[in-house]
Amino acid sequence: MTEKKTSCLLWPFVALWDLIAWIVGLTGRLVAVILGLVLLLVGIILTVLIVTAPLGIPIGLFGILLMVRGLW
């Protein structure tokens, strides 16, 4: 097995993508898309409430990434 070298600046993005791939592999594609949609809606609701926007934006982005990974 060959190990890919990742720049230390890109490591957080690679780690997040690997986590999403692990969730999709564990739950299946359909459940991942549904979970991503739920997280996206929760993120939107939290973002509308201005005080919780710093928490809602990352949750919404994680939901989008989970949906994208589940679809492709």
How far apart are alpha carbons 30 and 11 in whole angstroms? 27
Please state the domain count of the chain. Answer: 1
pTM: 0.70
Domain span at 54: 12-71
Q: Confidence band (pLDDT; 50, 70, 90) for 61? A: very high
Per-residue b or e along 11-24, where b marks 16 or more CB atoms closer than 10 Å to that residue's CB: eeeeeeeeebeebb
pLDDT of 44 reads 94
Residue 43 within any structural domain of the chain: yes
4-57, pLDDT tens digit by residue? 777 888 888 888 889 888 887 877 888 888 999 999 999 999 999 889 989 999
Tally of helices (H runs) and strands (E runs) in the chain: 3, 0
Residue 31 within any structural domain of the chain: yes
